[in-house]
Amino acid sequence: MISEVQLPLSISIRTKRIVLQTPEDDDRPVYLSGNFNEWATQDFRFKMKKIEHGKYEFHFPEGPEFEGELVYKFTKGDWSEVEIDRYGNRTPNRQWNDDKPVKFEKVFKWRKNWLPYRPSQLPQIQLISEEFEIPQLNKTRKIWALLPHDYSTSDEHYPVLYLHDAQNLFNENAQYGNWQIDKKLAVMSDYGIGKIIVIAVEHGEKERLIEYNVGKTLLGKGNGKQYIRFITDTLKPFVDKTFRTKTEREFTGMGGSSMGGLLSVFSGLIYPEVFGKLMVFSPSLWVLPKIKLGFLDFFEPQETRIYLYAGGDESETMVNHVTKLRNRLLKRESLKGKMKVHLSINELGKHNESYWSDEFPKAIEWLFFNNKPE
């Protein structure tokens, strides 16, 4: 007697099957992202099965959503790791609109952390001033503007992100490496999700800790509140007057790492009428282990998006501190319904520019743009 072959419940002999070959393969899994799952990346329902090195397949389950035209791309987990052609360029969306049961596809290369990039898409980098006056601190500072690559030939207005520690953002000669935000913005621009103005403010070298320290902490008394007022009262008005910006709070963000991350937290919480987006990487919460949020009850809360990142290999307390901050913000009665917090944890992440560089485009995308490719 011949026994029946049991097929997995999610697979039918009538379903469509994709077979993918890729000469450039690695240990990262391959996912399908398309019009059948709202272009979600790293959707485990659409993770392809690895048959052998460089070869994958996927059986679509039965359902009306898979019967019409399928539009999709292959990724290694998210848009920073999407397929590219043999020359490193973006690929058009793939389409499957025939009745054949099997579709054979080929991916030549994959992005890794949004790279490689096209030089023509690099942002226009302008030095705003070698000595921009900070009247709140009676000092001057070097400040840069990174404008979209086509800024001079367009009439668009753009969201603005203010970033601290400009020395480490795009300087190839930075002592500890840099975030490569210019290159990341170039690739994001290619995908229509990077049209943003970045204002990069250099730190005060030996005075950095004092300037980024808000109030009284384990580091002593800082000048962080005056520095934040400089951004809100002096620099932002200048930027809005000088460049084509979207001035409203929902298009204005503040971001940084370490002490710059902690400063960004306070910037958004003290001035919610100015900043609607906060990019907070590895904040130095250890200097304020018992951070008090009671002052928030005196402010009219407005909808704010916060992207929190922490690395598991930074310190014994980093992930715990950041997780507690997220929970406290979400539980705060005065902020309910107004605070959206995305927590990203890299268990292998260290406290350095390389890991913040990895996180930068993901944070930009979540804070300012949607996840769908053009």
Task: Give the domain CATH number at 160.
Answer: 3.40.50.1820
pLDDT of res. 217: 85
Are 146 and 240 in the same domain?
yes
Are 100 and 135 in the same domain?
no
Are 297 and 202 in the same domain?
yes
Of 77, 92, 110, the last residue of a domain is 110
Q: What is the mean pLDDT of the chain?
A: 88
Of 85, 110, 135, the last residue of a domain is 110
Q: Cβ(340)–Cβ(308) under 8 Å? A: no
Q: Count of domains in the chain?
A: 2
Contacts of 253 (CB under 8 A, 6+ apart): 159, 160, 161, 162, 275, 276, 277, 278, 279, 367, 368
DSSP 165-196: -GGGTS-TT-TT----HHHHHHHHHHTT----
For 8, list phi and psi in degrees, rounded to 5. Answer: -55, 145
Residues of the domain holding 308:
119-368
pLDDT of res. 333: 63
Peptide bond before residue 116 is cis, with ω within 30 degrees of 0: yes
Does 136 fall in a domain? yes
Are 79 and 227 in the same domain?
no
Rounded to a whole number of angstroms, the distance between the first and last alpha carbons of the chain is: 55
Torsion (CA) 99, 102, 103, 108 in degrees, nearest 10: 180
Torsion (CA) 230, 234, 146, 362 in degrees, nearest 10: 50
Report in angstroms the alpha-carbon separations of 210 from 69, 77, 146, 173. 58, 40, 26, 25
Does 69 fall in a domain? yes
Helices vs strands, H then E, count in the chain: 7, 19
pLDDT tens digits, 105-151 = 999 999 987 788 889 999 999 999 999 999 999 999 999 999 999 99
Are 32 and 163 in the same domain?
no
Are 127 and 103 in the same domain?
no
Does 10 fall in a domain? no
Residue 100, number of CB atoms within 10 A of its CB: 9
Residue scoring higher pLDDT (360 or 302): 360
Whole-number Å distance between alpha carbons of 256 and 312:
18
Are 104 and 179 in the same domain?
no
Are 137 and 90 in the same domain?
no
Whole-number Å distance between alpha carbons of 146 and 123:
6
Does 77 fall in a domain? yes
pLDDT of res. 134: 97
pLDDT of res. 294: 54
Whole-number Å distance between alpha carbons of 372 and 314:
32
Whole-number Å distance between alpha carbons of 198 and 357:
15
pLDDT tens digits, 213-237 = 998 888 889 899 999 999 999 999 9
pLDDT of res. 3: 42
Are 43 and 124 in the same domain?
no
The vertex-274 CA angle with 206 and 289, nearest 5°, equals: 50
Sign of dihedral through CA atoms 318, 351, 185, 373?
A: negative
Are 70 and 142 in the same domain?
no
Kindly tell me if the per-residue pLDDT of 298 is higher than 70. Answer: no
